[in-house]
Amino acid sequence: MKRFFLLFSFMTFLFLLFCLPAGATSIRVVPITAAPSPACTPEAPQASPSAADSVPLSVSTDLTENTYSSRRTYSPVPTILPEQDDRPFIIRFGSRDEPKISLSMDDCYNIDAVRETLDLCRQYGIVMTFYPLGIQLHEEDRQLWQDIIDAGCEIGTHTMRHNRFAHGEKKVAIAGILRPQEVLDHLLGYHYPIRTIRTPYGSIEDENNSNAKGIKILKLCGYDHVVNWDVSQTDPEKALPRVQNGSILLYHARENDVQCIRTLIPLLLDKGFEFVTVAELIGLGAEVTTSTDLYVFDPSLY
């Protein structure tokens, strides 16, 4: 037994001598711990990728766009965006040379919030752009949408149902982009041309994170650009310093957003900003030419 113990000790010594790396003097035991969970952040709009365009903006609590648990956190950061070309396909802001800005509102699920916002436009003598979903254009709200037009405001489109249009079949995507024009014309009783589009989540990317398919579809539908934003913050104290010449401000039809707009409008006017529609800001002009020829979507053309 003694010989066996001596032999085992000798073999152990040889193993340590030849197997440990040169210079090693000890073996460190590292306790195994669970990997930290990644911080939850709100989904960024993908178009600039509006993300690329995108930088983290305000958290949306609109259940139609994103749903967040109570554990999700978000720390707003200053909006810093690169300068853009004269007429890029994805537009995040207008000219930085003139003190003109555009206020915009997406989705329009809460029609009372839309009405409150229009009242603010009338009160302060300003105009803005509304981007309703096609499914939110209801017969009972005909007068409200006509009042929006009469106030000089613009009606754009946010597609029919808030789907990521470039992720599906081309014909389905085209229908989702063009059918809101048919719905709006039927609602108004005359042709009101929709001149600007904001895609859901600010995204035109397909499943492979490429913009090529989305751009091709939008051009087939007659759009040479999509409109994103460079300011989206529902805290007026944080939103105000981010606004600069050419800014496009994004809000949704929610009471918290309306309260922010209510505070922001007089502050922005005091700073010398002029409110214009998105179409005017990006060079399409302020005038809208209507007609009696109602648009009818014909899928066979695509």
In a domain, 114, yes or no: yes
pLDDT for 251 equals 98
Which is nearest to 151 in space by CA: 187, 115, 109?
115
- Whether residue 297 is contained in a domain is answered as no
224: tokens are 């040479």
Residue 200, domain extent: 90-292
Give the Å distances, CA to CA, from 11 to 3, 16, 23, 27.
Answer: 12, 9, 21, 18
Reduced to 3 states (helix: H, G, I; strand: E, B; else coil), residue 129 is strand
The structural domain count of the chain equals 1
DSSP-derived 3-state class of residue 112 = helix
User: Looking at 77-185, which runs of residues are DSSP E strands?
Assistant: 90-91, 100-107, 129-132, 154-155
pLDDT digit string, tens, across residues 88-100: 899 999 999 999 9
Positions of the chain with pLDDT lower than 50, given as ranges: 20-82, 85
Question: Is residue 221, in this structure, part of any structural domain at all?
Answer: yes
- The span from the CA of 167 to the CA of 270, in Å, is 43
Q: Flag whether 50 is in a domain.
A: no
Tell me the CATH number at 252: 3.20.20.370
Q: How many CB atoms lie within 10 A of CB 237?
A: 11
- pLDDT for the residue numbered 114: 98
pLDDT at 88: 84
Nearest Cα to 58, choosing from 245, 268, 242, 204? 242
What's the pLDDT score for residue 14? Answer: 56
DSSP character at residue 274:
E
What's the pTM?
0.72
* Structural domain includes residue 22: no
Q: Is residue 237 part of a domain?
A: yes
- The answer to whether 266 and 125 are in contact (CB under 8 A) is no
**Residue 121 belongs to a domain:** yes
Residue 43 belongs to a domain: no
d(CA 16, CA 21): 9
At residue 224, the pLDDT reads 94
Q: Are 118 and 151 in contact (CB under 8 A)?
A: yes
